[in-house]
Amino acid sequence: MSCGCKTSGDSSHSCGTKSANGCESVDTCGNSYKLSVFDWLSNINNPSESKCDFVEVRFKNDRKHFYKNVHHLPLHIGSVVTVESSPGHDTGVVSLTGELVKIQMKKKNATEENPLKIYRLANQRDIEVWQQSREKEESVKIQARKIAYALNLNMKITDVEFQGDGQKVTFYYTADNRVDFRQLIKEYAAAFRTKIDMKQIGFRQEAAKVGGIGSCGRELCCSTWLTDFRSVNTNAARYQQLSINPQKLAGQCGKLKCCLNYELDSYLDTLSDFPSSSTTLDTEKGKAFCIKIDVFKKRMWFAYVDHSMAWYDLEVGEVKKLIAQNKRGEKTPPLEDLKVLDVPTKSVDLIQESNIERFDRKNRNQGKNQNRKKPNNQQKPSGKQRPNPKPENKVSEKKPDDNQGERRKNSPEKVQQQNQTQNAKPQNQQKKNFKKKIQPKRDDNA
């Protein structure tokens, strides 16, 4: 039995119905399932004759276990199997086989003593019961939340998982404090007629089960590939020079983001070459203390104790020289003399560069200048006639004498053009007279 695309277990398979719960039919597609493992040893022959009898079987969400293939069944990735459980049996999908299972068992500290067994390949009856149990989970979760709310319990039912044979149902819940759910289990047993199992999970595990989109625009790491949750504290944000803002540093689970640990090692390696952030410099104008550190530019900002509003940035190598000079008992020059001069760089406005109309601006300006040069009484050229860009009475580019300039100012042509522009302004400002529409006469004979 496989997913609707019939290529379950193929590494080059790309299912079109990717979701948090997998494929629509049976949820056996390996590539559409979160926390899937790629078997990079599948095409390599095992040099030893002994084969690994253990296989990794996955269930709903991120639950996985290792089972021993005692009957030596021909299993591959995507096979639906019936495995041992307490009580009854459970149904799952094989997610990993071969020698890579030993590496996974060592990584997750799984022992080979008293292993759970694989009974058989799932038949049609097992798969039908499994599908019916999975379809009831959403309605059971809603009903379980109503019962918990009626009992005034400070808890939240996050997820519900039925066993493959339907004899047991597990409720995953989150709570801030300890919850007394003895009465709740009685209510659940009377309502659902099955064995009830309650499991408390953390807020990070809840986000991994529910899933979502992070602030980076991608799926949550805990719901796709992250399996171990390491502790994250505010020191990781301080080393990376981030502002301690809970709204920006917290993820959807309400805790600090796991991605704060990703680049922490590289920051620590770079900061090992920096002086301490509590460094003080004894200058001729007084003592100066460190305010800010830029890891990428390798600079440190200092300010005077008396006048802390003015900041001065220095390179790390220069700061080390100043510290060595203070150790010898000498005072350093003022910070104003040691400040690094920034070379101004020409910034490019990417939004303006990507504007579609940037090619039309030159033509627009030319048209405006041409209209300004034309007198008001001049008519536009008609037909194919081209306007003369050069005026007829153009003066040579040589610098005229002062007497010639005074004559031109008082020339009759200039005076005539000024009178024409003054007479044209009130004509343009006059309101247009619109003709009244004559109403049609009424015809009494109509």
The β-bridge relationship of strands 312-315 and 299-304 is antiparallel
What whole-number distance in Å separates Cα of residue 409 and Cα of residue 178? 97
Q: In this structure, how many other beta carbons lie within 10 angstroms of the beta carbon of residue 270?
A: 13
Looking at residue 105, what DSSP letter applies? Answer: H
pLDDT at position 365, please?
53
pLDDT tens-place string over residues 329-366: 888 888 888 766 666 666 666 565 666 666 665 555 55
pLDDT over threshold 70, residue 140: yes
Instruction: Give percent of the chain with pLDDT exceeding 70.
Output: 68
Query: 128-132, 352-356, 384-388 — which is least confidently predicted?
Result: 384-388
* Phi-psi label, residue 88: left if phi above 0, alpha if psi -120 to 50, beta otherwise: left
pLDDT at position 395, please?
43
Q: In 293-411, which residue ranges form alpha helices assigned H by DSSP?
A: 316-327, 335-338, 350-353, 361-373, 402-409
What whole-number distance in Å separates Cα of residue 26 and Cα of residue 32? 12
pLDDT tens-place string over residues 18-37: 444 444 444 544 444 566 77
Nearest one of 250, 270, 271 to 259, comparing CA atoms:
250
* Cis peptide bond upstream of 87, omega within 30: yes
Q: Is 109 helix (H, G, I), strand (E, B) or coil?
A: coil
Average pLDDT over residues 116-141: 93
What whole-number distance in Å separates Cα of residue 132 and Cα of residue 172? 20
85 versus 357: the higher-pLDDT residue is: 85
What whole-number distance in Å separates Cα of residue 354 and Cα of residue 360? 13
313 versus 415: the higher-pLDDT residue is: 313
pLDDT over threshold 90, residue 385: no
pLDDT at position 307, please?
81
Q: Which residues pair with 67 in a beta bridge?
A: 55, 116
pLDDT over threshold 90, residue 139: yes
pLDDT tens-place string over residues 203-220: 998 998 888 899 899 989
Half-sphere exposure of 142 (CA within 13 A, CB side): 3
Q: Which residues contact 403 (CB under 8 A, 6 or more apart)?
A: none
How far the first Cα of the chain sits from its last, in Å, is 85
What whole-number distance in Å separates Cα of residue 391 and Cα of residue 140? 89
pLDDT at position 359, please?
61
pLDDT at position 383, please?
47
Give φ, ψ of 121 to 5 degrees: -70, 135
pLDDT at position 7, please?
39
Contact between 33 and 58 (Cβ < 8 Å): yes
What whole-number distance in Å separates Cα of residue 162 and Cα of residue 137? 7
pLDDT at position 415, please?
53
**How much is the pTM?**
0.61
Average pLDDT over residues 245-272: 90
Give φ, ψ of 242 to 5 degrees: -100, 150
pLDDT tens-place string over residues 35-83: 677 777 777 777 766 678 899 999 987 788 999 999 989 998 889 999 9
Contact between 312 and 303 (Cβ < 8 Å): yes
pLDDT at position 15, please?
45
Give me the chain's average pLDDT, please: 77
pLDDT over threshold 60, residue 168: yes
* Phi-psi label, residue 166: left if phi above 0, alpha if psi -120 to 50, beta otherwise: left
Query: 97-111, 202-216, 373-387 — which is least confidently predicted?
Result: 373-387
